[in-house]
Chain A
Amino acid sequence: MVAVAQHPNIELVTYAEVVKVSGYIGNFNVTVKQKAKYVDWDLCTGCGTCWEKCPSKKIKDEFELGMGLRTSIHKVFPQAVPGKPIIEAETCTKLTKGKCGICEKVCPTNAIRYDDKEQLMDVEVGAIVMATGYDLFHWEETYGEYGYGKYPDVITSLHFERLVSSGGPTGGQIRRPSDGKVPDSVAFIKCVGSRDDTKGKSYCSRACCMYTAKHAYQVKDKLPDSESYVFYMDVRTAGKNYEEFYQRSLDAGAKYIRGRVSKIYPRGDKLVLKTEDTLMGMPLEVEVDMVVLATAMVPSEGAQELAKIIGFSTDKDGFFQEAHPKLQPVETFTAGVYVAGTCQGPKDIPDTVAQASAAAVKVCGLFSKERMATEPMITEVDISKCSGCGLCVPICPYHALSLVEIKERGHQGPFTRQVVEVNGSLCQGCGACLPACRTVALNLKGFTNEQLVAEVDALCL
């Protein structure tokens, strides 16, 4: 992270979103919205006086997934890069009620800006790498048998990561959220939302088998006297040193039970899991202190909209569609736009890093040339036939068509009229405009009406 911030060739724009993209490979025009931070980061030193003094202290910390508290003016987490705070407008009493103003008073560099507004900036770039990541499947909405999220000790694997992290809300001690008790037994349930056509997603989320093996191991490592159960459909460990890692977890004493958990319900301060052991062929009831769900990876919120803004396609699950699963795994159907990481599909860290480097190489390959060749199979206009009706203009998904005025000579002298013009760099040759043309003034080079009719004639005559 720090390497990114320190690199002289990288300009970091955080707390910002892409709102508009126009142009084409080698020549994109991107509009970025910088959200209001209410802190001048050029002046801020990140000293921390502001968030220490902020009186709005009881806000659920998203970074800790609600298991910790933060202030209104805050850094996302202590090691944030850049290490500067923002004010969350909705929870700041100065911004909502006009009262307080403590952070402004205590800031030694006068960096607080209550009148900060969001700003738009335009950037010209030659290539775009999509790396928007993933979110976790909202299991609470569909998995009624696991309590719809109403049992505090049924948590996700990401919650568990925070519980075992030394920087987390418990300082790295595994304690269950409801009463802070160190659990005597923890159950892990895999494929919650993954490989579940009826309630979740049809795909395998790929990383869960391994991180659950890690979690089961961490329970045995940190709490040697506790039980660590893993309920699974299959164990998929296809990766270098992965199977060995899973064995290590088994050797440490993790108990793997093959079966889907059909119900979780409370009994006293414990949770009861109703399941079966399909290898033994018998029903099973297990009592534990805490349940951890390995939930599916789904596309990051807003990814679909972003794909629309930039103009490339997504797959049936909303992940970004690669141009070819084997031969063009980091390209999209839009030239100059590449994909890296979980925005393209679920994957683990080693695969993510490899794909990101692959995308980077594609960008560098593009940048190794001064100019690039364009595909000549694009739309052309016969202006003698074009009536200038403009029906084709809004149809073009690449904004390649526009109406222009041309001067012509007639019997009554010179006059001007409208005709459509094609931007040869923007046109991708998709042909969507052709059916809209009533006067057959548009033709797709390489797929002209004459050529297509010749094909039809060859088949039918």
Chain B
Amino acid sequence: MKKRVGVFVCDCGTNIASVVDTEKVAEYARQLPGVVYSTTYKYMCSDPGQELVRNAIQEQGLEQVVIASCSPRMHEKTFRKAVEAGGINPYMFEMVNIREQDSWVHPDRGEATDKAMDLVRMGVSKVLKNVPLQVSTIPITKKAMVIGGGIAGMQAALDIAEAGHKVILVEREASIGGKMTQLDKTFPTMDCAA
């Protein structure tokens, strides 16, 4: 695998850029071994931001991508898709969290920027060891179980059943209905609960 890493540093509006000097981080990243391209952008998850990633992969011939932005919980899937759309394996990508673990928790601009550079350096080192991974598929049993037969359970069961799927509704009591059956009229319409 050739070492051609692209590093993308996100401002997240002011969420990151107000504390972390993203330009400085991108400039620093360019000097790291294996990195051939780096840039910043206001919102990397936005359509133009993803386009930036896709185009850079193709124009710069990137083999690995590091995106320094928010938590992977937030946008890892988004960026995997963008990387894949750029033409490389979606697992040749590392996400570096410089928002939740940096700009949101550190007030000092200098220190936060230093930490962002450390985190990016770690991400680049890791991505160079990445190998392409392949997704496999599993079959799906098209039958749902709903546990609890109150308002929520009945509504969910009915909606799934209406969509044409089998549902098994398990209720602890001898009757469905839940707390609703004990209620009189209900707000704001004052119609009956049952």
Contacts and interface: CB of A to CB of B under 8 A. Distances in A.
Interface of A: 1, 3-5, 7-18, 24-28, 30, 32, 37, 63, 65, 75-77, 79-82, 84-86, 123-134, 158, 161-162, 164-166, 168, 172, 210-211, 213-214, 218, 239-242, 244-245, 300, 302, 306, 324, 327, 338, 340-343, 348-349, 352-353, 355-357, 359-361, 363-364, 366-367, 369-377, 424-425, 445-446, 448, 450-452, 454-455, 457-459
A452 B122 CA distance: 9
B149 A14 contact: yes
B181 A450 contact: no
B147 interface: yes
29 contacts: A9-B161, A12-B176, A32-B170, A76-B175, A77-B175, A81-B177, A82-B175, A85-B174, A125-B168, A127-B145, A130-B147, A131-B148, A131-B156, A133-B152, A133-B179, A168-B184, A210-B187, A214-B187, A214-B190, A340-B156, A348-B187, A357-B155, A360-B158, A363-B156, A370-B140, A373-B137, A446-B133, A452-B126, A458-B124
Contacts of B180: 349
Contacts of A341: 148, 150-153
A360 B156 CA distance: 5
B194 A1 contact: yes
Contacts of A32: 170
B135 A376 contact: yes
Contact of A14 (B159, B167, B173): B173
B181 to A, nearest CB: 6
Contacts of B153: 129, 131, 133, 340-341, 356
B183 interface: yes
B146 interface: yes
- The residue among A82, A85, A451 with the most chain B CB atoms within 10 A of its own CB is A451
Interface residues of B, number: 71
Contacts of A446: 91, 130, 133
A433 to B, nearest CB: 18
A424 B136 CA distance: 9
Given A26-B138, A360-B156, A352 B169 contact: no
A12 B146 CA distance: 10
A9 B165 contact: yes
A162 B150 CA distance: 17
A306 B148 CA distance: 11
Contacts of B173: 14-15, 76
B96 to A, nearest CB: 10
B2 interface: no
A3 B118 CA distance: 60
A458 B168 contact: no
Contacts of A126: 140-144
Contact of B129 (A7, A211, A425, A454): A454
Interface centre among A10, A17, A162, A343 (most CB of B within 10 A): A10
B133 A376 contact: yes
A26 B139 contact: yes
**Central interface residue in B91, B144, B167, by most chain A CB within 10 Å:** B144
B143 A1 contact: no
Nearest to B190: A214
A14 B184 contact: no
A196 B190 CA distance: 30
Contacts of B167: 9-11
Contacts of B61: none
Nearest to A242: B188
A5 to B, nearest CB: 7
B126 A79 contact: no
Nearest to B32: A458
A363 B144 contact: yes
A1 B154 contact: yes
B174 A360 contact: no
Contact of B133 (A132, A244, A377): A377
Contacts of B190: 214
A350 B137 CA distance: 37
A446 B188 CA distance: 52
Contacts of B164: 9
A210 B121 CA distance: 54
Closest 9 A-B residue pairs measured CB to CB? A341-B152, A360-B159, A131-B153, A80-B175, A356-B155, A458-B125, A131-B148, A9-B161, A26-B140
B62 interface: no
B139 A10 contact: no
Nearest to B123: A455
Contacts of A349: 151, 180, 186
Which interface residue of B135, B168, B194 has the most chain A CB atoms within 10 A? B168
A364 B163 contact: yes
A133 B130 CA distance: 45
Nearest to B138: A425
Given A4-B158, A242-B187, A451-B129, A123 B151 contact: no
